[in-house]
Structure 1
Amino acid sequence: MAALRSREASGVPLAWLIEAVTAGFVDADVSTLLDEREERTARAALPPSFFGWLAAEARVAQAIVSDQNEGDSRVPYREVERAAARMLLEFAYRLMHDDPDRHFLDLPFRFAAPAARLGIESSLVIQAVRVTERRWVDQLLTAAGERAGDIAHSVLSASAAIYDAVVDSFVTDYVVAQAQLDGEMLATKRALIDALLKPGVRDAKGFDDLGIDLSGHHVAVVLWHPTAGIGPHLDTAARQIGMSAFANAVTVVPGDDRTLWIWLTFADDPPPAVLERVRSIPRDPGRVGVAIGPVARGVQGFRRSHLLAREYAAVAGRLPPGIAPDIADTERMSYLSLLLRDPERAEWFVATELGALATGAVSDRENRETLRLYLETGQSLADTAERLRIHRNTVVYRLKRIEQAIGRPIASRRHELYAAALLAHLLEQSES
């Protein structure tokens, strides 16, 4: 006890406690646990028996983590032991100086990044730290004997400070590592998808890392923001689509600064009700545009559905709010996307089909709109008049003027004339 009293008298408040808790240990080699400078500094301040305790507790911490991870050989156990040793050394320093808030080591724990990459739950690591910290507290208070009540506050304060410091350090590093890993995985996924979307790819060989069954049925979705980049509006819409579809797999990657690309993959052909749920997700149409490709199967279907969804999105994005459909899908967009694929040729087509009606004159615009609605309503004079809010006889008069201008009966080329009138309307709206 003379040694204990001399250390206590020397101004190191709880040095006696360190000697008491390590009394049953002998010196040990800790060169694999501490850096050379750390070990040299520690040996100048702590008794040799402490290093036997340090080595033993590092092994116990490793065993705790191993048990929690069912002996997974991928876990970086050496770094776990090193982290436990540094944590215990920091604990001892703070106890000896009775200063729970003072930092003696930088505590750079190197197991956060490996844990994130291996998919080890951060909660398991934090739980292991808690179990280890509680174990040390119990040993220290037991070693203190009758004096446990006198030093309990100091021990618990130092313990809590160490726990907070370690957890804060680990969580920060883990989050950073997880973000880096997510970025790497996303870049890898995007590179695989870019390769898969190239023409000529016909089988799934080499694309296993995507984690989806490419032989299944795919529905591609493109989300975009009319004015801003990828943000919470698109992320929320993507989550809602994924939850509403009940797909076997949901794949999401950024398309560019303003779009998200999504694939819903199903083992079987999805029923119409599934796609209707996707179309019905709650959203703000002014902030989130949605384009949906057709259901298509296999590797080529993965590509086809996506390219059509992108085409629908591109066309819908050019249309004015009053013309653009709420959901740009095959039913609403296949015809428009085909017509507007080449704007210059679309203008040529309008000029060829409508002839003298293809001018900017007010009367010609009125006649084109009358022609479009007349054909759109199944050549109903009453419905056309109602939609234009004019008299039925005015519709009849305009139709005669239209046939005179184009030089042939409307019925002779009604499909071509409807396409031309619709194109003229869309091009005019886009320009305005």
Structure 2
Amino acid sequence: MGHDAVRHRKVPLLREEIAVVIAALVPRGTEPVTGLASAACRHGETILGANAVAWAVQVAGDLAARAQAERPGGAVPVHDIAVQGEVLVLQILSTLAATDDVGGSVDMAAIAEEQIRALIAVGAPFERVAETIRIAHEVVVRELLGVAIAREVSAATLTAITVSVARATDEVLASLAKRYVQEAERFSSSVQHARHELIDALLDGRPVDEHAVARILRVSIDNYHRSFVISGSPSYPHVDVRSLRRAADAIKNRLGARTIVVRENPNSLWAWVSADRRLPADESVVAASIGDEVRVGFGSMQSKAAGFRRTHMEAEAAARYGHSTAAPVVDYARHTLPVLLSADTERARWFVESELGELAAQNPRSRELVATLRCYFDSKLRIAVAAERLHVHRNTAIHRLAALETILGHPVTERLAEVQAALSLLDIIGNPPDETP
């Protein structure tokens, strides 16, 4: 007798023995986790039989309990694991029964997609799904082989069961992986879109639903908010994204709060931190932690929706001011006046020239007098302290102060705020050509 004839005789035998194994599948009687509610299960009953479907549900419940016991803190709910198990076990039984079950397969795929969406929504990685499927493979093979051996089927049938389960598991795993990637991309795109729309509404000052903020941004709008803008320094104008992200991580660690990126551009990164407590940022400490490649502008600490908008606008203004002064870190709260005044460069230049007169000229004598004036202010208007810091005699400092008042046209203390503001703007407006008084 030829090999083809033998093979044709073996195929009906394999099918008969597999049918016997499937018919012998019965649940152990304990209450299943999911029940027999899904369309896939009802459809499976017409092909596999009610007992086989009930057994599949029972195995899925055991699988879920085992997976949850091994990872009690896992993000995947027991019910979701059980439904995944149902899908897999019913697919395996359909493959073993050699059924061309298009309707059932489509329904099971739909159930799988629904569960995948739920897993992605809670942040469960695909490794958890794959781990569940591998455990299911182990459990199903052991259960089926146990029933098959008890029915004294042939070695060929035992091999066919093992191979069929492995093939069905691989097919389900590959299909789920593909769907997981597709759904994750769709979910990420939809989440990003919703996040951008919500942030745009906040920045526009439009009313927002605080529950939507909590769900989409995962923060309370009533929290304290602090925004910051990171960009390349003058030495590194085309800083790469990795450097921007490293700086954002350093700021997050320094502030001890979660960082949320709002916008990520080729040469800048715009983000904010949110917490139920105040988040002070020391300029010198932050500057030491971010490196020389980047510059940072901080908005002030604010709360609620209006504060969210305000701190973002302040951070943007602080970043512009920082680039003009080459300061590594600018905290809007500490530099409010010069930041505001420097928003309009032309008017800022008029203001500086009006307040400082010849001191705004770029020549050695003007620079010397400006340094003296700044030191005098830093010394809290104490001439002796200023002279010591300048390493000049006290009388020299007095003569310089007299010269300053002559140029200003009034005592230094008469327009104190205006003169100090003009000095802070002097470095960023661009000096006029060299003029010797």
TM-score normalized by the length of structure 1: 0.67
Q: CA deviation at 1:348?
A: 0.5
Q: CA deviation at 1:355?
A: 1.4
Aligned residue in 1 for 2:368 = 366
Does structure 2 retain, via aligned residues, the 8 Å contact 1:245–1:277? no
Aligned residue in 2 for 1:260 = 270
Aligned to 2:290, what secondary structure does the other structure show?
A: coil
Are residues 369 and 280 of structure 1, via their aligned partners in 2, closer, same or farther at CA, if it must alter by over 3 Å? closer
Structural RMSD (CA):
4.8
Structure 1, unaligned runs of 5 or more: 27-31, 34-48, 94-104
Q: 1:415 aligns with which of 397, 417, 429?
A: 417
Aligned to 1:422, what secondary structure does the other structure show?
A: helix
Aligned residue in 2 for 1:138 = 142
Measure the CA separation in 2 of the matches of 1:239 and 1:305.
Answer: 19
* Matched-pair identity in %: 24
Q: CA deviation at 1:351?
A: 0.7
Are residues 340 and 85 of structure 1, via their aligned partners in 2, closer, same or farther at CA, if it must alter by over 3 Å? same
Are residues 359 and 185 of structure 1, via their aligned partners in 2, closer, same or farther at CA, if it must alter by over 3 Å? same
Aligned residue in 1 for 2:19 = 22
Does structure 1 retain, via aligned residues, the 8 Å contact 2:337–2:421? no
Query: Counterparts in 2 of 1:352-391, with a 5 A limit?
Result: 352-381=354-383, 384=386
Aligned residue in 2 for 1:310 = 316
Aligned residue in 1 for 2:176 = 170
Amino acid at match of 1:10: R
Does structure 1 retain, via aligned residues, the 8 Å contact 2:250–2:290? no
Q: 2:220 aligns with which of 187, 203, 213?
A: 213
Aligned to 2:427, what secondary structure does the other structure show?
A: helix
Measure the CA separation in 2 of the matches of 1:186 and 1:51.
Answer: 44
TM-score normalized by the length of structure 2: 0.67
Structure 2, unaligned runs of 5 or more: 24-38, 41-45, 69-76, 99-104
Q: CA deviation at 1:174?
A: 1.7
Aligned residue in 2 for 1:332 = 334
Residues 207-238 of structure 1 deviation map (CA, whole Å, 9 limit, x = unaligned): 56444433x34222224231457844444555
Amino acid at match of 1:275: P
Does structure 2 retain, via aligned residues, the 8 Å contact 1:219–1:263? yes
Q: CA deviation at 1:373?
A: 2.6
Q: CA deviation at 1:335?
A: 3.0
Amino acid at match of 1:20: E
Measure the CA separation in 1 of the matches of 2:295 and 2:12.
Answer: 67
Residues 101-150 of structure 1 deviation map (CA, whole Å, 9 limit, x = unaligned): xxxx9xx9556653343236445533442343234423553426778878
Does structure 1 retain, via aligned residues, the 8 Å contact 2:92–2:165? no
Aligned residue in 2 for 1:275 = 280
Q: CA deviation at 1:337?
A: 1.2
Aligned residue in 2 for 1:100 = none
Are residues 414 and 132 of structure 1, via their aligned partners in 2, closer, same or farther at CA, if it must alter by over 3 Å? closer
Aligned to 2:270, what secondary structure does the other structure show?
A: strand
Amino acid at match of 1:117: R
Aligned residue in 1 for 2:133 = 129
Q: CA deviation at 1:252?
A: 1.8
Aligned length: 383
Are residues 12 and 339 of structure 1, via their aligned partners in 2, closer, same or farther at CA, if it must alter by over 3 Å? farther
Query: Counterparts in 2 of 1:71-150, with a 5 A limit?
Result: 71=79, 85-86=90-91, 113-119=113-119, 121=124, 122=126, 125-139=129-143, 141-142=145-146, 143=148
Q: CA deviation at 1:262?
A: 1.6
Does structure 1 retain, via aligned residues, the 8 Å contact 2:17–2:157? no
Aligned residue in 1 for 2:188 = 182
Aligned to 2:318, what secondary structure does the other structure show?
A: helix
Aligned to 1:262, what secondary structure does the other structure show?
A: strand
Aligned residue in 1 for 2:301 = 295
Aligned to 1:363, what secondary structure does the other structure show?
A: helix
Residues 242-261 of structure 1 deviation map (CA, whole Å, 9 limit, x = unaligned): 566566xx572422512232
Aligned residue in 1 for 2:343 = 341
Are residues 304 and 427 of structure 1, via their aligned partners in 2, closer, same or farther at CA, if it must alter by over 3 Å? same
Measure the CA separation in 1 of the matches of 2:62 and 2:341.
Answer: 67
Aligned to 1:316, what secondary structure does the other structure show?
A: helix
Aligned to 2:380, what secondary structure does the other structure show?
A: coil
Measure the CA separation in 2 of the matches of 1:113 and 1:283.
Answer: 44
Amino acid at match of 2:343: R
Are residues 229 and 195 of structure 1, via their aligned partners in 2, closer, same or farther at CA, if it must alter by over 3 Å? farther
